[in-house]
């Protein structure tokens, strides 16, 4: 039962068949329309990536087809599929970092800050599953360009976290370098948990809660280890 193609009203365009994600309307200024098409290309790619597909196996034609646009139109917006991928990386992390910055700006004691940050992060992941699924898949698997872009964004994020950790009274004595290592571990654990989450049945709240619970325990262990770090270090290594 194919739905009638008059969803957005408008000028009815042509009678062409559209599998489009977001049927672009004919409203707005020219720049706005262009931007809208660009967005629907990005969204189409994101949507296609939400399934099995990896970015490198995604074809330009698929993206344009799913965005309701002719293949050649792609080149009006991106020179390359890789360019589109880089935009996806960028917008994934800018959104994330904004949110995390908000979360940290709250006037709370440090211990609550971590929990608050975790909650914010998980909230972000649940609200933008497509972006994060993309990141998770391409972090190690993508092209060198994509992989390095993601890696450098994650490094920024790790540094942000390290700054927060520095405020913890019981981490006061840990050196800056070691704090980076600690927050690296934290980010790893969180990202890994998220990647597990992405393969879970979205309805099964019990399983989700378990993954979250285990991740929290792991974080506590890491922080505990970090707190014990400066006191025990001399004995474990020269």
Partner DNA sequence: CATCCTAGTGAACGACTGTTGACTAGATCC
Partner DNA sequence: GGATCTAGTCAACAGTCGTTCACTAGGATG
Task: Provide the binding-site residues for DNA, judged by CB under 7 A.
Answer: 11, 14, 16, 24, 26, 29-31, 33-34, 36-37, 59-62, 65, 69-77, 80-81
What letter would DSSP give residue 57?
Answer: G
Which of a copy of itself, DNA, none has residue 208 at its interface (CB below 5 to 8 Å by kind)?
none
- C-alpha dihedral (211, 213, 219, 225), degrees to nearest 10: -120
Find tokens 């390095």 and name the residue: 148
Which of DNA, a copy of itself, none has residue 160 at its interface (CB below 5 to 8 Å by kind)?
none
Minimum distance, C-beta of residue 86 to DNA, in the bound complex (Å): 15
List b or e across 42-77, with b for residues whose CB sees 16 or more CB atoms inside 10 angstroms: bbbbbbbbeeeeebeebebeebbbbbbbeeeebeeb
d(CA 147, CA 235): 38
The alpha carbon of residue 140 and the mean position of all alpha carbons in its chain are separated, in whole angstroms, by: 14
Minimum distance, C-beta of residue 11 to a copy of itself, in the bound complex (Å): 40
Q: Where are the alpha helices (DSSP H) in 54-175?
A: 60-67, 81-105, 110-127, 129-141, 144-165
Residues 117-176 that bind a copy of itself (CB under 8 A): 136-144, 147-148
Minimum distance, C-beta of residue 166 to a copy of itself, in the bound complex (Å): 16
Which of DNA, a copy of itself, none has residue 75 at its interface (CB below 5 to 8 Å by kind)?
DNA
Q: Tell me which of 4, 30, 52, 79 binds a copy of itself, using CB under 8 A.
A: 52
Minimum distance, C-beta of residue 42 to DNA, in the bound complex (Å): 12
Which of a copy of itself, DNA, none has residue 152 at its interface (CB below 5 to 8 Å by kind)?
none
Reference 98, options 127, 69, 59, 139; nearest CA is: 127
Reference 59, options 88, 84, 76, 77; nearest CA is: 84
Site for a copy of itself contains 199 (CB under 8 A): yes
Return residues touching a copy of itself (CB under 8 A): 52-54, 56-57, 136-144, 147-148, 178, 181-182, 184-185, 188-189, 192, 195, 199, 214, 217-218, 220-229, 232, 236-237
């Amino acid at each position: 039962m194919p739905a009638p193609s008059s969803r957005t009203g408008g000028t009815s365009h042509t009678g062409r068949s559209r599998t489009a994600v977001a049927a672009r309307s004919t409203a707005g200024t020219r720049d706005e329309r262009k931007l809208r098409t660009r967005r629907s290309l990005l969204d189409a790619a994101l949507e296609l990536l939400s399934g099995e597909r990896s970015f490198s196996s995604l074809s330009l034609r698929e993206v344009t087809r799913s965005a309701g646009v002719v293949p050649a139109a792609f080149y009006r917006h991106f020179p390359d599929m890789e360019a589109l991928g880089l935009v996806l990386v960028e917008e994934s992390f800018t959104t994330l970092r904004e949110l995390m910055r908000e979360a940290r700006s709250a006037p709370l004691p440090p211990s609550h800050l971590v929990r608050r940050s975790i909650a914010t992060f998980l909230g972000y992941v649940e609200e933008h599953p497509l972006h994060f699924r993309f990141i998770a898949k391409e972090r190690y698997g993508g092209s060198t360009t994509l992989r390095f872009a993601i890696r450098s964004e994650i490094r920024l994020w790790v540094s942000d976290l390290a700054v927060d950790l520095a405020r913890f009274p019981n981490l006061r004595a840990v050196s800056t370098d070691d704090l980076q290592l600690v927050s690296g571990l934290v980010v790893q654990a969180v990202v890994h948990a998220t990647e597990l989450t992405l393969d879970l049945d979205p309805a099964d709240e019990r399983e989700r809660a378990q993954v979250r619970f285990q991740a929290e325990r792991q974080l506590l262990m890491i922080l505990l280890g970090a707190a014990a770090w400066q006191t025990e270090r001399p004995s474990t290594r020269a």
